[in-house]
Amino acid sequence: MWPEICDILDEWILGGRPERLVHLRYNELVGRNWLSFDDTEPYRNLPTELTKAAIGVPSHDLRTLAADYLRLHDPAHAADVIATHLGHGDRKSTEAYRAECGAAASQAIWQEVRAVIAQR
């Protein structure tokens, strides 16, 4: 999923400029908002509205899908990544994900141990 996201970001940031200028364009936008390309902060729902207008799905649904993938892919570290990814500012917001990640990490460890035991 990340290569596609990188391609989309590059295309958005470049805005029709040649691909060889991507690093210059990123440098131009340091400290600016990448949705509006200016120095002002957009209203809170702009990312969700732009995402929903483009693909018909709110961005929170996409972030939740990505969080589920992270939980399954790397449960030992996923809770912290998910908290950042979903913009959760406190541990209470991520309690459910932390519980799911803890259970998934424990399950993965048990499967590895069981595989070692079975080989003996």
pLDDT digits (tens, 9 = 90+) for 28-77: 998 888 878 888 876 778 878 888 898 898 888 888 888 888 878 787 77
Across the chain, mean pLDDT equals 82
3-state secondary structure of 38: coil
Q: What type of residue is 82?
A: I
Q: Residue 79 pLDDT > 70, yes or no?
A: yes
